Structure 1
Amino acid sequence: MKNCAICWLFSPFSSGMRSILILVSLCYTVTLMADDTVILAPGTPWARHTIDKTSRGADGVKLGDWNKDGLPDIVTGWEEGGVVRVYVNPGPAKAREAWQQVTVGEVKNVEEAIFTDLDGDGKLEVVSGTEGKTCTLYWHRQVEGAWSTQAVPVATNTQMWMQVAALDLDGQHGPDLLVASKNKGAAVSWLQAPQKADDLKAWSLHKLRDAGWVMSLTPQDMDGDGDADAVFSDRKGERTGVFWLENPGAAANREHAAWKEHAIGGLGKQVMFADLGDVNGDGRVDVAVAVKPVEIVICLRKADGGWEEHGVKLEGANLGDAKAVKIADVNGDKLPDLLFTCENAKGQLEGIVWLEQQRDGPWKQHTLGGPEGLKYDLMQTLDLDGDGDLDVITCEERDQMGVFWYENPGR
């Protein structure tokens, strides 16, 4: 990425008896992203630290301060193992050891798990989504000191629930739930909370858009009106790509109004996990999405609200198939880089790498995890060891590496 200072000097002259010189100096900064090519760069795998590998099929990592100690904790659903677990962040001194774990529920075919406080008691609970033959949303919470798992009736045996996000959409009764699913009957929808969250039969489901297989669902204010819209990536069906749905506002949502759809990019492609962030340093929120087979599509937000699409094709000879991308400044040079995970990383193929953004020239592709692991998932970035750089938290669900983090070696 390159910053260029450009100054324009305008000197209009007035006519008549007296000439007046007016000098107007307008200065602005133009921000450019690195070009769309990728070259291989030398590097060695990062140290990997296991958080938990005692179950099977770890599927995703989401964050939240579960115990209110100021440190982000992790929640993960284990798809084949049939458990939902919280991992308590021990702090930098003990981060390299196995973390304390709490099993908050036991449900089959877990695909998604998030932290939220639905009942407003100040304590985080967990909502999980399941697929396969289960197809149910569950609420995991403590009742009289013991963990309880309850199904949401309107979302029981209905859809393959892939993504969940909690936020207040109607201005009443606390958090509602944005949800998305895959395959038969798939949709992006929202679950409206009743006056009392534990009145589970009173939750109602409102479809926003038909879908094929939603991979990402992120609340983000895309139009600057103060409420969160829904950004999502849909990999299957008639309308694949990355889109955002415009939140009409709390009052309209109470009347179950429609949300207007806007296309972002990657249209017609098999898009996977997406991430939001400022890739080119212009202060606007961009979107990056992993695309099959081994590509990242970067959608830069323009000043007029439109999008400029760039396709970055990785050096794929030693990689699996695209799974997820994460925008993060990996090497601390103030330039956003890209982390990339894969599935089908068989044999000596790598399952996770990172792309270094340069001020000029191509992206530099660095090894990160080496050939270990077959099917990786989405990533989170945190400074877990307190050394000032971002480490990478992820999971692997086929070679049973479990939930773990990679220690950033620094510059």
Structure 2
Amino acid sequence: MVDLDANGVLDVVSSTEGKERSIFFHWAPELKSITDANQWKTDVLPASEKIEAWMFTLPFDVDQDGDMDLISGSKSTGASISWFENPGGENSRDVEKWTIHRATDAAWIMSLRILEVGSEKFLAYSDRKGDRSGIYLIPFLKKEPWLGKPVLIGASGEEVMFLDLALINDDEKPDIVAALRPDKIRIFHHPENTLSLWENTSELEPLSSDKHGTAKAVRVGNLDDADAPEYIITCEHANGQKHGTMMYQQSSGYSTISGPEGVKFDRIELLDLDGDSDLDVLTCEEREGLGVFWYENPANRK
């Protein structure tokens, strides 16, 4: 969700693969009509249409002109990380004026995140397949072409799924936490030089193949107001009685959130959806038709 036309209301951007292979803008109406589906308008982004299998899109002002651009990653033949330049002002809704800039080739992009270290910003991303698999950083530049060259910083040759950024240590530098198939959740601790190899790593207990599916996504957050963060993890291949969504706590290990419902879960968002001052878990599932749903955090349940 992002305010593409700077009118103070969040719009929705959706990325599609399969037959669509396009990015869509879903323009929001005024707030008073936000729940009226007939008031929303959808446009395909022509610069994205039918050219790549778009997997993930992240809003960010790449060219630093005050307008919100989009960074997108794709998979399969011709895959890339590209950014779409917002024409700005009154032209933001003129989808024909948005332009695409290819930043780097890719194989199968799973995650895009903005990593900030002091005044420096980097695009952190995971590429899942082929000879490009691993975790990379691209520095944002102060002038054109705005994005530098990708630097491989970890997990070379491994099947990296979704990743998250979190302050795991006390050094005030964000670390990277990644799900690696089939059963690993690995923490890449921030080195002195951000663009060097992130060699200092640690791992959670491996996922049990008897109880869990294969690692898909991980998010880190404080879900119980204790000092240590919790790790929320989703899985694929959670067949039968296996669990597809779970929590890891340093003091007690894994505990289930989902139960056996669902098989193929996906990305995670940690949000206070019920307004009770604790983080809930938003995710989705595509094999048993659970759709988009959330798990209520019982910490502050009344």
> TM-score normalised to the size of structure 1?
0.66
Counterpart mapping for 1:27-106 below 5 A: none
- For structure 2, the 5+ residue unaligned runs are 34-38
Q: Which has the larger radius of gyration?
A: 1
SS of the counterpart of 2:138?
strand
Structure 1: where are the runs of 5+ without partners?
1-114
After superposition, give the CA deviation of every residue in 1:146-194 in whole Å (9 maximum; x if it has no partner): 3221111111110011111112111226111111101011011111122
Report the Cα offset of residue 244 of structure 1. 1.1
Task: Quickly say closer, same or farther: Cα 1:302–1:174, change in 2 above 3 A.
Answer: same
Distance of 1:381 and 1:277 partners within structure 2: 13
- Indicate the residue corresponding to 2:257 in structure 1: 368
| Distance in 2 separating the partners of 1:121 and 1:408 | 33
Larger RCO (alpha carbons 8 Å, 6+ apart): 1
Which deviations, in whole Å up to 9, do the C-alpha atoms of 1:342-364 show, x marking residues without a partner?
Answer: 01111011101111124xxxx61
Counterpart residue type for residue 26 of structure 2:
H
2-structure distance, mates of 1:225, 1:282: 16
Matches within 5 A, 1:95-244: 115-142=1-28, 146-172=39-65, 174-195=67-88, 196-222=91-117, 224-226=118-120, 228-244=121-137
Change in Cα spacing, 1:183 to 1:410, as seen in structure 2 (3 Å) is: same
Q: Is the 8 A contact 2:80 2:107 kept in 1?
A: yes
Distance in 1, matches of 2:95 and 2:66, equals 13
More strand by share: 1
Deviations 1:8-61 (A, max 9, x none): xxxxxxxxxxxxxxxxxxxxxxxxxxxxxxxxxxxxxxxxxxxxxxxxxxxxxx
> How far, CA to CA, are the matches of 1:197 and 1:301 in structure 2?
37
Aligned residue in 2 for 1:274: 163
CA apart distance, 1:257: 5.3
State the Cα distance separating 1:282 from its structure 2 match.
Answer: 3.2
Alignment of 1:289-308 (within 5 A): 289-305=178-194, 306=196, 307=198, 308=200
Offset, 1:387: 4.4
Are the equivalent residues in 2 in contact too, given 1:129–1:164 (CA < 8 A)?
Answer: yes
Identity of aligned residues (%): 38
Deviations 1:64-97 (A, max 9, x none): xxxxxxxxxxxxxxxxxxxxxxxxxxxxxxxxxx
Deviation at 1:369, TM superposition (A): 1.2
Aligned to 2:270: 381
**Offset of residue 331 of structure 1:** 3.1
Q: Which residue of 1 aligns with 2:237?
A: 344
Whole-angstrom CA distance in 2 between matches of 1:292 and 1:265: 15
Distance 1:117 1:273 in 2: 25
CA distance in 1, matches of 2:293, 2:12: 20
